[in-house]
Structure 1
Amino acid sequence: MTQIPVAIRLDKSKTVLHLDYEQAQFSLNAEYLRVYSPSAEVRGHGVGQEVLQVGKRAVRIIGVEAVGNYALKLVFSDGHDSGLYDWAYLHELAQTEADKWQQYLQRLTAAGASRDA
């Protein structure tokens, strides 16, 4: 069963998206959402084609748009707006944030890259 948030709020700083579910609440950082965008630009067009996102520490969410009854389109301050975060993917990101964030930091370190622009 797909978890659909009962409330979605963007904080005033535009750096945290709050998702309220019936049984839990999550606060997801804009940088985390940006580097795990479901877009082809980030994910590539197949396994092993993912593109490491660097320099996204200061990114903000400047728009949140509902897409039908199945997803959100997030518009980021760096101009990225092509990923559709369906409810299942958003819930997965929320539940696995700690592990995914550590994986991202490890990939940055391995690439000699930075979160800063």
Structure 2
Amino acid sequence: MDAPAAIRNQRGPGVLALQWGDAEAVISHARLRGACPCSQCRAARLQGRVSLVSDDVRIERVVAQGYGVQLVFSDGHERGIYPWQYLRDLG
């Protein structure tokens, strides 16, 4: 999957907007934090542990990783790398 043509991190409303060739996906920061694909977060979900994510969590930085992006959150979490297809599926 190719990278989106544009990525806009809108901190005020707390959304990440991704412009694909055929569609735009707008995903809340809280949803992205709750769906973190890092090994620790995935293991917690598989064990049935529910991680409550505050609605006021924000993405501080978006770091390109080639096949996706690393998202750095205001709660200090920065382990997850979100592949492009995963982001497209979330949106």
Normalising by the residue count of structure 2, what TM-score does the alignment of the two structures yield? 0.88
> How do 1:93-104 and structure 2 match up within 5 A?
93-94=90-91
- The CA distance in 2 between the partners of 1:83 and 1:59, in whole Å, is 15
The answer (yes or no) to whether the contact 1:39–1:84 under 8 Å persists in 2 is: yes
Aligned with residue 65 of structure 1, among 60, 63, 66? 63
CA gap 1:50/1:64 in 2 versus in 1, 3 angstroms: farther
Structure 1 segments (4+ residues) deviating >6 Å: none
The answer (yes or no) to whether the contact 2:70–2:81 under 8 Å persists in 1 is: yes
Aligned-pair distance for 1:3? 4.7
The answer (yes or no) to whether the contact 2:3–2:68 under 8 Å persists in 1 is: no
3-state SS, counterpart of residue 46 of structure 2: coil
Question: Which residue in 2 is equivalent to 1:42?
Answer: 41
Unpaired stretches in structure 1, ≥5 consecutive residues = 95-117
Unpaired stretches in structure 2, ≥5 consecutive residues = none
- The CA distance in 2 between the partners of 1:50 and 1:89, in whole Å, is 21
Aligned with residue 83 of structure 1, among 64, 80, 83? 80
The answer on 1:19 being equivalent to 2:18 is yes
CA gap 1:12/1:48 in 2 versus in 1, 3 angstroms: closer
Aligned-pair distance for 1:75? 0.4
- The CA distance in 2 between the partners of 1:70 and 1:6, in whole Å, is 14
Normalising by the residue count of structure 1, what TM-score does the alignment of the two structures yield? 0.70
The answer (yes or no) to whether the contact 2:61–2:72 under 8 Å persists in 1 is: yes
The answer (yes or no) to whether the contact 1:17–1:28 under 8 Å persists in 2 is: yes
Measured on the aligned residues, the alpha-carbon RMSD in Å equals 1.9
